[in-house]
Structure 1
Amino acid sequence: MRASLKDNIIIINQEDLPQYKKGGSVVRNSYFWALKSIACYARKGCDWEFDQPVWTALSRMLLSFTESGYLGYSETILEFDPDIPIPEVLRSVSTWL
């Protein structure tokens, strides 16, 4: 998931966010609701924002869904531009583009 960092807010590109689908995969829908529940801003059709107090929870959640094996790696890893420093707490679930 393409991500950026601005004013201590992690911003995940809306095009890379999980989609909720009625009658869809339970894992994907759970992933959608889990991410949405800790976001400080998560409107439909917009980028989602995660403030610094939830970064540990975000890291644990992404790691858990990655290790489950039900979702692809690209769906559960944060991808930053090379010029953006990755916060320490998110290094285990992040990479550079």
Structure 2
Amino acid sequence: MRAKIENDVLFLHHEDVPEYKKGGSVVRNSYFWALRSIAGRASRYGDWEYEPEVWFALTRMLLSFAESGYLGLKETVLEFPLSQGGIPDVLRDVSTWE
């Protein structure tokens, strides 16, 4: 998922976050609700926002869903632009550069 940090807020690109689909995969729908539940802001057509206080929980959640084997790396790894600078330590286990 494309990600960036601005003013100590992590933004996930709205086109990359999972979609809720009625009657869809239980894993994907659970993933949607789990990510949404800790987001500071999660609008349908805007980037999802996460404050530093939840980054540790976000990391554990991404690792857990990645290890389940039901979701691909593109869906569970944060992809930061090279221009971002450093990746915070708490997010390193679930992050890479674009």
Q: Give the TM-score of the pair, scaled to structure 1.
A: 0.98
Find out whether 1:55 has 2:60 as its counterpart. no
Q: Which residue of 2 aligns with 1:41?
A: 41
Question: C-alpha deviations, 1:52-92, integer Å up to 9, x for none?
Answer: 00000000000000000000110000000012121100000
SS of 2:83's equivalent? Answer: coil
Find out whether 1:74 has 2:74 as its counterpart. yes
Q: Which residue of 1 aligns with 2:97?
A: 96
Percent sequence identity over aligned pairs = 61
When the two structures are aligned, how many residues end up with a matched partner? 97
Within 5 Å, give how 1:8-27 maps onto structure 2: 8-27=8-27
Q: Give the TM-score of the pair, scaled to structure 2.
A: 0.97
SS of 2:36's equivalent? Answer: helix
Distance 2:5 2:16 in 1: 16
Shift of residue 32 of structure 1?
0.2
Quick check: 77-86 or 26-35, which moved more? 77-86
Shift of residue 35 of structure 1?
0.2
Unpaired segments of 5 or more residues in structure 1? none
Distance 1:43 1:59 in 2: 21
Shift of residue 45 of structure 1?
1.2
